[in-house]
Structure formats: structure tokens, C-alpha cells
Amino acid sequence: MPQLPQIDSVKAPDKIVAQATRARRFPWLNIPFILVVALLVSYGLVVVMSAVANDRDYSFTNQLAGVALGIVFMVLVWRFDYRRLSDFTMLFLIVNVALILSPHIPGLGTDAGMGAQSWLKLGIQVQPGEFAKITVILLDASIMARYGGRLDDPREYVKALGLMLVPFACIMTQPDLGTGLVYLCIGAVALVVGGARPKYLLITLAAFVAAVIAVFVVDQIIYNSTGEYKLLKQYQRNRLLVFLDPDIDPTGESYNLKQAQIAIGSGGLFGKGLFQGTQHTLGILPEAPTDFIFCVLAEELGFLGVMALLALYAGLVLISFRIAGASSDLFGMTIVMCVVGMWLFQILENIGMDCGLMPITGIPLPFVSYGATGMVMNFIMLGMIGSVWTHNIQKQR
């Protein structure tokens, strides 16, 4: 009769204990999440490397530095217990106001182009409005956490809404409409996740639409009287008008849109190949590494390259949804959902504007558009999601 293999009664339990110890020591290693992020960031770096190859105004080294610094901040934030921040609503409000208004400080603020005072000169140029997205998320999540998932009182709803609109009002002093829309999106997600009554949300939406219409009407009345627009910059009006009629400004915003569409369409199924794109290489496509980076990707990597990017985004969003669903507290769930909502809005707006489906704005494509500030900010948000996952897993154990 053949003998059964002997089981090492000492080593087997030791191995199990060692594995359990490693799991307890590194609970933040959400492998699927890290893998998707690594693939997405690597993909974005490849596209940026091609986009900046022949453009002296941009440095690929700067993008790599943003990734390296972002990873450091991500790990630090990931290990921090996010639950300690739930009661600092007023502090987040003060920090938001200070960050967003800091470019107005004489000697520090610098013009980002087209009259937008949204950058700081600190040896390097920093856009505080980007970092304020983090504190806006924490502000809105901490506000809604106070109501325990149910916001029925109309007075409390108006109070919460008013606090959420403060960052938007501040960013419009620069003015930076694109970033302001991101703030509004974050606030909308927080209200929905936080349990605001649907009736209040519909009233707010109707009021927002009415306010937009009123701005255009009043601005036109002012123009008829004074000969200049006061409420909206001329380029902001042009971008919205071009969205309604792509042929209205053939040498301005319409030109940018046409070139973006040509770049996307010329990529075909497989693309022209990395470093082979002509629209940005010849300088025809404006702001290729930043606002129109998606066009570079579509031209050089084609439809399949676009689908690969969308698949990576889908993976990141789905894993984040699972992390939000596993959260045991409203504050953590709201943080994750606000981050995901912000990413989805930026993805839809950036890709949509390149295709002519959305108005042209300066909203970047997450993890792909050139910019160290935006890259670091996105990595910090990855750390926030990781913190929610880690500390809820530890609690379950």
C-alpha cells in the first residue's frame, strides 16, 4: 500500500501565520486597484511623451517628477485614517477659500492666459485651484456626513448648499469656469450620495439652468448699453457659442474644434503610430499635451488605443465603486463617490469637447493630460480612496 505524503506539522502552520502577518502588515495593498492605476499612469506617460517630443514649452521630465511626487503623497495619504477628518468642516472651508483666492495675492499670482489669474509663482508654477479639488471633496463629504444619509429639512439643505457653493464663488473670481464646473459636480454627487431629497435637487437644477440663462441675457443687455461684456469673458462666450454652432468662429474656437476632430478621425482603427501624429507635430492642434491630449492618443493609437484607455478608466471606476460600497460610514463612501464623480465628469467633458459633444473648456483628462500639479492631485485622491478601503478592511478584521 503506497504511503501518503507526510505533512510537516510545524512548517505548514508557520507558513499560514506568515501569510496572515503579511496581510495584516500590508492591508493597503489592494492589488487590482494598484494594477489598474499603474497601467493607466504608464499609458498616460507614453502618450504625453509623444505629445511633448517636439514641443519645447513642455518637459517630459516634469511629468515624471509629478508622478514620482504623486506616488509619495499617495502612500502617505493611503496610510492616514481618513475618519479623523470628518469633523473639520469649517477648517476645510477656510482652506478652500485661502487656496482658491491665493493667486490674487500681489506678487504671487500669475496670469494663466486669457485673463485667468489662477496660478502661483513659487519657483515653479502651481495651480492651487487643482489642489482645492481635494479640500472641496473633504468639505462636501464632511457636510453631508453630519446628516447621516438623510437631508429632509429645507433650511438645512439651503445651508449645506450655500457652504458647497463658496469654493465655486471663489474660483469664479479668477475666473476659471472649467474648474468651477468640477466643484459643482463634486457638490452634486455629495448631495445625491448624502441623501438630499430629490425634490430639492430638481429645484436646485432648475435654478442653476435659470441662472445660466440669466447671465447670458443680462450680459447681452450690458453689451448693448456699454459695448462690452462684463459677466462672461469673450472667450467663454465663444466656446459656448461654438458648441451650439461649430462654424460660427472659423479662425478661433471653431478652428480648434475642427483640428481636434481631424486628429481623432485620421487615427482610424490602429492609428498612425507613436510619434507619427501630424496634427500636433506640425503645431496644428492647439494645446496638444494638455487640453487636447485625447486627440494625440486617438491619432497615434487609433480606435483600439482609445478603447484601451476607456477600459482602464472603467476598471478604475468599478473598483472604486466596490470600495465605496464596502465603506461602513457615510463620510468615507461620499469621499470615494465624489472622487469618482469628478473623474467621470472630467473624462466625459474632455473627450466630449474634443469630439464636439461638449463645450470646449480647460478641463484635463485624468492621469493623461500633461501637468505635474494635476498628476499629484490625482495621486492624492487615489490615496484617499485607498485610505477608505484600508481602514474599512481593518475594521472588518
C-alpha cell at 355: 469630439
pLDDT above 80 for 352: yes
pLDDT above 90 for 382: yes
The model's pLDDT over 298-336, given as tens digits with 9 standing for 90+, comes to 999 999 999 999 999 999 999 999 999 989 899 999 999
Beta-carbon contacts of 315 under 8 Å, excluding residues fewer than 6 positions away, are 32, 36
The three-class DSSP label of residue 359 is coil
Give helix then strand counts, H and E, for the chain.
Answer: 13, 3
The three-class DSSP label of residue 196 is strand
C-alpha span between 252 and 198 (Å, rounded): 41
pLDDT above 60 for 294: yes
Tell me which of 68-72, 148-152, 236-240 is least confident.
Answer: 236-240
Burial of 24 (0-12, 13-18, 19+ CB in 10 A): exposed
C-alpha span between 302 and 320 (Å, rounded): 28
Q: State the pLDDT at residue 206.
A: 96
Alpha helices in the chain (DSSP H): 11-25, 31-51, 60-79, 89-101, 128-145, 154-171, 177-193, 198-226, 234-244, 253-266, 293-326, 330-355, 372-396
Under 8 Å between Cβ of 166 and 96 = yes
Q: Where are the beta strands (DSSP E) in the chain?
A: 109-111, 117-122, 124-126
C-alpha span between 352 and 338 (Å, rounded): 20
Q: State the pLDDT at residue 171.
A: 92
% pLDDT > 70, the chain: 88
Instruction: Supply the DSSP string of 259-294, one letter for each residue.
Output: HHHHHHHHTTTT-S-TT--STTTTT-STTTTTTTHH
